[in-house]
Structure 1
């Protein structure tokens, strides 16, 4: 099963972001969370929880393109890097992954759906849309993470897209247009 750890994710995100800036190509980032995973562990035990994470990772890997990156982000969270994807492609990929796990029908009695489901936060970095506005990879990650929490607030087992990644907080705002 080809899934990277958090360190591999951090390195891949930095490389993907640098590639996007250098070549002007966009990328999508997904952060996924197993819905009610704590309840799963409480009911079925931690070894079963580890097993379900491995099963989910296998399903995701089988559904992703060869060029896409799959990483364990932390706890039950999974990160997916989608090179050369804009908003529509990123949303389609996230929805395809969400459905794949739901349709696998892995039992989870303490989840509203009765099966294991995922919530997704999605963000896209398109360097052409941010020309002249420095954006760091952490801003894209933050945007995807905030979208994930929005998906959870709205009921779980869904995909939410972040607004465009904000400019780097450490930079000055753009100058106002010249009067005239």
Structure 2
């Protein structure tokens, strides 16, 4: 109870503490604070549209610390046929449904630092062959650079159907029916 009674005082003390700064030289205001109107007709002034007054200079492009799921999916999507080929080539029984998880560790420079393939429905020997094949297929894959390494798991699901024309079908979600 004693700390809960003192906590408002600590916050209040932090809010009223004076800010101190040592300035050895006076700060001079820039001669031109805002840009003048452009000479062309119909053009909007840059400063009033963007809020950029040109005081601090250009900002460097900001890099996010990690790759987003969308960025990883976009880069890996181009290699999906090769990944599927590797999986199906080492599958003994084509009728068996399967699950494949690819774990990418992506370095800051965008290169693949490590790749691990986990296929719980495959025997260990076949899973190693699938991983080796996929590693060869995606070795040239490059991701955008980021400030930190990124670990991403990309799942693949394989299903075999005997039905002719089986697979996703267009459907109607109208409660009155489709005409």
Asked if TM exceeds 0.5, the reply is: no
Structure with bigger gyration radius: 2
Structure 1-normalised TM-score? 0.29
Larger relative contact order, structure 1 or 2 (CA cutoff 8 Å, min sep 6): 1
